[in-house]
């Protein structure tokens, strides 16, 4: 049962189970280089020099492939958050989370679009939800909860989910708008990172408890 088999045929040199990784790598490159709509099963197959059908031996369908592609990056985001987790002050940490998130979005628009701007038919529990080390949202939520229980926020703000969503929204709003209306003359675009950070700052001013 242990896949020590290697049916690589006269194709020879290629490691068999490695094919899976090969497909993922090829897909990832096309994904980031030319956007999600450039990634077709046939194009991936061509790049790794297999037939399109071969891919279905390693992934249930296209969506599963893309999801696996993005889960790594999703985890990477959560771990980037983790790094800012060392900041003591939860408010300052929140700010830092925002910055990390904006940069992730602007640097990986394809992943961002797939992860946060695409309606998926069903829920895919790929990363472990509720675990702050893998799930970026639950890390944000925990930070907010910390700020609440430390009495740093306005007293009427008691629901950590709601406040977390408010914070996420400012940032996600800027990032997704700048992705959608990139090089559009509709909006006179200020620097997205700067605008996002200042938006976060404004929101923070609006939720902290005045003293």
Residues of this chain that bind DNA (CB under 7 A): 1, 3-11, 14, 16-17, 19, 39-43, 49-54, 56-58, 61-63
Q: Bridge-partner residues for 12, per DSSP?
A: none
Q: Which does 8 bind (CB under 5 to 8 A by kind): DNA, a copy of itself, none?
A: DNA
Alpha carbons 19 and 15: distance in angstroms, whole number = 7
Residues 158, 175 contacting (CB under 8 angstroms): no
The upper half-sphere exposure of residue 11, i.e. CA atoms within 13 Å in the direction of its Cβ, equals 11
Residue number, 150 or 202, with CB nearest to a copy of itself: 202
Nearer to a copy of itself, 26 or 200 (CB): 200
Identify the residue among 3, 5, 206, 211 touching a copy of itself (CB under 8 A).
206
Give the angle 70-76-81 at the CA atoms, nearest 5°. Answer: 130
- Whole-angstrom distance, CA of residue 56 vs CA of residue 105: 30
Angle at 114 between CA 143 and CA 70, to 5 degrees: 70
Binding-site partner at residue 151 among DNA, a copy of itself, none, CB < 5 to 8 Å by type = none
129/136 Cα distance (integer angstroms): 9
Using CB distances below 5 to 8 A depending on partner kind, what does residue 179 bind out of DNA, a copy of itself, none?
Answer: a copy of itself
Two tokens, residue 151: 């009495």
Q: Which is nearer to a copy of itself, 48 or 179 (by Cβ)?
A: 179
Give 89 or 159: the residue with its C-beta nearer to a copy of itself: 159
List the x/- string, 98-117, binding to a copy of itself by CB under 8 A.
---------------x--xx
Q: Which two tokens stand for residue 4?
A: 């020590």
From the CB of 32, what's the least distance to DNA, in Å? 16
SS3 of 152-179 = CECCCCCCHHHHHHHHHHHHHHHHHHHH
Query: Which residues are near a copy of itself by CB under 8 A?
Result: 113, 116-119, 123, 129, 137, 159, 161-162, 165-166, 168-174, 176-177, 179-180, 182, 184-190, 195-196, 198-199, 201-207
């Amino acid at each position: 049962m242990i896949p020590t088999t290697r049916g690589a045929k006269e194709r020879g040199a290629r490691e068999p189970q490695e094919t899976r990784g090969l497909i993922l790598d090829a897909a990832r490159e096309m994904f980031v280089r030319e956007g999600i709509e450039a990634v077709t099963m046939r194009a991936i197959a061509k790049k790794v020099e297999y037939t399109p059908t071969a891919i279905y031996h390693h992934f249930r369908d296209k969506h599963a492939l893309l999801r696996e592609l993005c889960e790594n990056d999703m985890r990477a985001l959560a771990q980037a958050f983790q790094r800012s987790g060392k900041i003591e002050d939860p408010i300052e940490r929140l700010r830092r989370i925002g910055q990390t998130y904006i940069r992730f979005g602007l640097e990986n628009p394809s992943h961002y679009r797939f992860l946060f701007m695409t309606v998926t038919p069903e829920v895919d529990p790929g990363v472990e939800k509720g675990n702050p080390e893998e799930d970026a949202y639950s890390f944000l939520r925990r930070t907010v909860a910390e700020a609440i229980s430390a009495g740093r926020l306005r007293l009427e703000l008691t629901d950590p989910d709601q406040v977390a969503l408010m914070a996420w929204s400012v940032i996600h709003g800027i990032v997704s708008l700048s992705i959608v209306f990139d090089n559009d003359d509709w909006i006179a675009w200020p620097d997205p990172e700067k605008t996002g950070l200042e938006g976060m700052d404004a929101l923070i001013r609006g939720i902290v408890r005045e003293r």
